[in-house]
Amino acid sequence: MPTTTSATTTTSATTRARRYRRTRARRGVRIALALALVVAAGVLTVGGRLTKGAGGSGDDGAIGGGRGRGLRIGGGGGGDGDGSIGPSGDAAAAAAAAARERVVVDDDDDDSGKALGRRGGRARRRGKSERADDNDEGNGNGDEGSSSTYWARVAADPKRRDAVRAAAREAFGAFWKSALGHDELAPASGTGRDDFGGIDATLIDSLDTLYVMGLTKEFENALLYLKKPDSNFRRLIRGETDKDVSVFETNIRILGGLLSTYDLTGDPDVLDLAESMASRLSAAFDTKSGVPTSFVNVKTGKAFGLPWTNGRSILADFGTMHLEWATLSARSNNPVYEAHTNHVFERITQSSAAQDGLYPHLYDQNEGRFTGGVISFGALGDSFYEYLIKCWRSLDGLKDADAWRGMFDKAMEGMKKKLLHQWKVGEKGELYSYLSPVGGGGKMEHLACFAPGMLVLGAAEAPTPEVSQDYLEIAKNIARTCVEMYDAQPTGLAPDHFALQTGSEDVKLIDKKNIQRPETIESLFYLFRKTGDEQYREQAWRIFQSMKKAYRTRAGGWQGVRDVSHTPPQGDDKMQSFFLAETLKYLYLLYCDDSVMHLDDWVFNTEAHPFKATTRRKNM
Ligand code: DMJ
């Protein structure tokens, strides 16, 4: 049951600010030393500053490059920034501001779970709203009179939290040792793989996880590596690498990872890297409709779609960008980014293709219309719906805000009508539901297990208390099925794709692999933060134990499995970058107290990268 917040939360603001300043100062010294070594190696040039390269030389202009000057494809341009890494000048001001209102980070190795506690407990008080911003769950804190937010108050479970943290340290350590410079670790082979085109995917995807977990040394080393002029990523944003990249994956993992790292640290260099990345991706929007293609060449700017879609764009790709691009505009004071994605939203709202608020997967970006495809909450559709509610909840000044919320609620109605099915009734009368595409014959992808988390977010400030209640109920019923998919297998791991039938206990395995996906854990995280019900922590813990048993390799890397119905399972020799970005992060946060990345203050992008909510609504 929920209890009160831990001592961490009650640490005084002054103590935390002081500790933060001390930490920043110590880190500054360490980073300066590290920089001196790099400079000595001849990588950098003038006085410890990262130079922008000779004017017009085609350098990315990223580090220290002035922000707010528009898109910079291939463009160095003049530089006025202080390119130094570490808290000096503007960076120090940003760090101080961050200390005032954002985060606390400690060096100490034993500070797990203390890293990001909210200062001063709950800052916001729930105000009166015409909308239903709560339901009979209350806040789960047994203190309804003074309860202040939609979320429960929960205490940490330090033992489990630290076990997850140890797993992350081990997994990242294995990546660092054997796959640095590659996108992902191949844990069994002890090498790296580059399935994203060689963009330092795991490194960037892991940054905020390391930070949030207080794995400070790993975080600092990773950031230092990323900033090296010869890192894959730096070469890529300078346009030196002739690579085709997925706009969606690069957006959610790389741009998302950089933005959250900026929000956590206030490091302006990281914001510059994010802008340079967005600039490279922006060529994808250069279509007749302004709806981006799914792929872009980061050197030439050539934009194109996948052959199997006949080059058409995909709903979950172009519909999962606004959170990142609007956040980037807000941080950089450059409206260009969100102008792109606002336009995409307008194109979607102008379309008459929606069926009960649900959209088909494929869009012809030249003709400017949806052209068919499946309707589902699985692959190709999923995160479009997730971003309707996340953008509405957390973007200050969101253009057409009511339309975003309205589309979300309409889509949920459509979901109930067309996608949601009852599977079975449990021993205690509890309902198990599942989501299948229109015409999907009872098939459900693990990917669709993100939906309970989305519904928990949607239940806050829903149009009426009944709708709110309904969303929460459906969330619990779907999550029950998702967890059962794990429990039903001898490995304790869910298959990637399965089929269910109303009234039958049978689970048909369509795709037997398990690739470390986060969605079920993610939903358990939201359900736990909402209800404070310990059953969600227990379920997640069971899953984590199964993961540990099946995924962990002797060398410390964690890999997915090829067949969940077979023990001992055969590994797939791949540690997904989202394993560290999402799966382990949500697991860790499940065992932290609610002040750590409090959901009033932070919004997670679809790759679990936390952005500081700009809180259009103050009383979420
Ligand atoms: C992640 O990259 C993101 O969660 C995305 O939205 C969907 N797929 C993977 C994880 O399964």
Instruction: For ligand 1, atom 1, name the residue with the nearest CA.
Output: 607
183 falls within a domain:
yes
Which atom in ligand 1 lies closest to the alpha carbon of residue 320? 6
Short-list 81, 94, 93, 89, CA closest to 266: 94
pLDDT digits over 311-330, tens only? 999 999 999 999 999 999 99
> In the chain, what is the straight-line distance between the N-terminal and C-terminal CA atoms, in Å?
23
- The amino acid occupying position 109 is D
Ligand 1 touching residue 517 (CB < 6 A): yes
371 falls within a domain:
yes
Q: How far are the Cα atoms of 200, 465, 468, 544, 546 from residue 563, in angstroms, in the given order? A: 28, 43, 38, 17, 14
**What's the CA gap between 385 and 607, in Å, rounded?**
14
Contacts of 269 (CB under 8 A, 6+ apart): 50, 62, 63, 64, 83, 85, 91, 227
- The CATH number of residue 426's host domain is 1.50.10.10
- The amino acid occupying position 535 is Q
User: Measured in angstroms, how far is the CA atom of residue 606 from the centroid of ligand 1?
Assistant: 7
8 falls within a domain:
no
3-state SS assignment for residue 2: coil
**What's the CA gap between 447 and 572, in Å, rounded?**
19
Which residue range forms the structural domain that includes residue 240? 13-612
User: Measured in angstroms, how far is the CA atom of residue 464 from the centroid of ligand 1?
Assistant: 31
**What's the CA gap between 514 and 523, in Å, rounded?**
17
3-state SS assignment for residue 244: strand
Q: How far are the Cα atoms of 100, 147, 432, 601, 620 from residue 124, in angstroms, in the given order? A: 16, 10, 35, 9, 9
C-alpha angle 115/120/126, rounded to 5°?
A: 115
617 falls within a domain:
no
166 falls within a domain:
yes
User: Measured in angstroms, how far is the CA atom of residue 470 from the centroid of ligand 1?
Assistant: 26
Ligand 1 touching residue 578 (CB < 6 A): yes
Mutate to test the pocket of ligand 1, among 517, 525, 605, 609 (most ligand atoms within 8 A of CB): 517
Contacts of 310 (CB under 8 A, 6+ apart): none
**What's the CA gap between 550 and 495, in Å, rounded?**
13
**What's the CA gap between 501 and 297, in Å, rounded?**
43
Q: Which residues of the chain have pLDDT under 50?
A: 1-115, 118-130, 133-147, 617-620
121 falls within a domain:
yes
Short-list 408, 540, 551, CA closest to 482: 540
The residues annotated as belonging to the active site are 249, 253, 382, 519
Ligand 1 touching residue 606 (CB < 6 A): yes
Which atom in ligand 1 lies closest to the alpha carbon of residue 517? 11
User: Measured in angstroms, how far is the CA atom of residue 578 from the centroid of ligand 1?
Assistant: 7
561 falls within a domain:
yes
Mutate to test the pocket of ligand 1, among 383, 445, 584, 604 (most ligand atoms within 8 A of CB): 383
Q: What is the DSSP string of 373-442?
A: ----SSTTTHHHHHHHHHHHHH-TT-TTHHHHHHHHHHHHHHIIIIIEEEEEE-TTS-EEEEE--TT-TT
Overall domain count for the chain:
1
User: Measured in angstroms, how far is the CA atom of residue 151 from the centroid of ligand 1?
Assistant: 24
**What's the CA gap between 500 and 519, in Å, rounded?**
18
618 falls within a domain:
no
Cβ–Cβ under 8 Å, residues 597 and 161: no
**What's the CA gap between 210 and 33, in Å, rounded?**
21
- Mode of pairing for the β-strands spanning 303-304 and 313-314: unpaired
Instruction: For ligand 1, atom 10, name the residue with the nearest CA.
Output: 517
